[in-house]
Amino acid sequence: MKGLNDMKKNRIRLAMLCLMLGMVAVLVAAGPAIVESQQVAHAEQIRARCVRAFSAKGPWKAEITETETGSDGQTVTTLQELIVRSPDEYRIVSRERDAEGRQVVSATVRRGSLVSTSRVDADGSTVVHLIRGVRPSLGVGFDTLIGQSVEAVAESRPLRVVGRSKRNGHDADKLELSPGRYVWVDRSTGLPVEEQVVSAGRIVHSVAVNSLEEGGSMSGSAFDLFVPGKGRTVTEEDLGYRRIEDGVDVAEIVGFVPLSTSVPAGFSEGERGYVDPRVLTGDAAGEGACITTFSDGMRTVMVTQIARSGPDEGFAAFAEEGETVETVRVGSTAASFVRDELGSRLVFAHSGVLVTIEGDLTKEAFVALAAGIK
């Protein structure tokens, strides 16, 4: 009897061993897929944090060096200095060398609806372009080198984490955006600290964040526009945006009666303005629009209204490359919730007006805000 019991025990042990070996074999076979899945999840976490960290930045200053090497072996180095106080108040100065090694300085300064761009060549000649009537902005972001790196991280498919190292004094994750193109993202802040493009074993383009300072005092003089003077070539352009002033009949100017817009919960009203279609932009008249902004101190939301013909229910937004569109309801009206890695917007038609809401909001918050537009 004892021998039979031992045989049974041995068979049970053998069955358990086979089961364990089978499980190990399954895990070994699935190992690469599990690792790949973890890497993908990690990359998506870094992507989301990078975009969120950059979008939520308050006043900040930065100094960035860009280096580019041409096929002839010549290297051009540009130093970009940034001062950003708000989405509509910033200065970007770029310093580079011309073919003869002389310094050339380019600058863009924005103060509200007025933007000035200028270029001072090595011989002292200056070209200034003044742009008036610029619409409100959701952020300076992608006008800057650091913003362009964030944009690249947001849009790259697939995104892979290929290492970790210290760059410019920061512990950073190394991301491969595409073959030969890499961005290092600071593990503590979520922001890019360096970007490189490698070809034939050499670095042909690089962007390095030398310094990044958030907050602090910023002198108003830093945002002084370049004033036209002697020896300067000046051109001007008007894009037609105007703030609403008392006594102005906006409906008569834009050609439709704007819908009323309630202030979203937790936000305060920012700026109300319109785009005057009578102002020429190039060779064609612009389209009349009514624009309202709201802010909660960190985020800006913008509501744009333009006239639209046709039934409200017949409207549907089209997705551009990299965007997804979902149909949602705002009361009895169909609306299109459009999103990509860089932002979201809600678009719908109501009472002959096409409404677009843009900002860093959830789908539910967009719908709640839209419900107050009548």
User: What does the pLDDT look like over 194-215, one tens digit per residue?
Assistant: 999 999 889 999 999 999 888 7
Calpha distance 243→241 (Å, rounded): 7
Q: What is the mean pLDDT of residues 350-358?
A: 92
The segment with the largest mean pLDDT, out of 18-27, 235-244, 314-323, is: 235-244
Stretch among 12-21, 154-163, 281-290 having the lowest mean pLDDT: 12-21
Where is pLDDT greater, at 53 or 18?
53
Among candidate residues 164, 171, 213, the one with its CA nearest the CA of residue 188: 171
**pLDDT above 70: residue 10:** no
Element (H, E) at 28: helix 2-55
What local confidence, expressed as pLDDT, does residue 53 receive?
Answer: 83
**pLDDT above 60: residue 234:** yes
pTM score: 0.73
What local confidence, expressed as pLDDT, does residue 86 receive?
Answer: 78
DSSP per-residue letters across 99-164: TTS-EEEEEEEEETTEEEEEEE-TTS-EEEEEEESPPP-S-SGGGSHHHHHHHHHHH-SS-EEEEE
**pLDDT above 90: residue 192:** yes
DSSP per-residue letters across 46-110: HHHHHHHHHHT--SEEEEEEEEEE-TTS-EEEEEEEEEEEETTEEEEEEEEE-TTS-EEEEEEEE
Calpha distance 291→275 (Å, rounded): 8
The domains located in the chain, with CATH, are: 60-214 (2.50.20.20), 240-371 (3.30.200.100)
**pLDDT above 60: residue 33:** no
**pLDDT above 60: residue 23:** no
What local confidence, expressed as pLDDT, does residue 258 receive?
Answer: 94
Among candidate residues 145, 19, 140, 142, the one with its CA nearest the CA of residue 85: 140
What local confidence, expressed as pLDDT, does residue 306 receive?
Answer: 94
Calpha distance 320→188 (Å, rounded): 33
Stretch among 9-23, 74-88, 130-144 having the lowest mean pLDDT: 9-23
Band (17; pLDDT cuts 50, 70, 90): low
What local confidence, expressed as pLDDT, does residue 4 receive?
Answer: 47
Q: Which two tokens stand for residue 22?
A: 């089978």
Q: What percent of the chain has pLDDT over 90?
A: 33
Calpha distance 203→181 (Å, rounded): 10
User: What does the pLDDT look like over 279-330, one tens digit per residue?
Assistant: 865 555 668 999 999 887 657 899 999 998 777 776 777 767 667 889 999 8
Q: What is the mean pLDDT of residues 333-344?
A: 83
Band (27; pLDDT cuts 50, 70, 90): very low
- 180 secondary structure, DSSP code: T
Contact in structure between 304 and 355 (CB atoms under 8 Å): yes
What local confidence, expressed as pLDDT, does residue 182 receive?
Answer: 96
Spatial neighbors of 357 by CB under 8 A, at least 6 apart, are 301, 302, 303, 345, 346, 347, 366, 369, 370
User: What does the pLDDT look like over 46-99, one tens digit per residue?
Assistant: 998 888 888 766 788 899 999 998 888 788 889 999 888 877 888 888 998 877
> How much is the mean pLDDT over the chain?
82
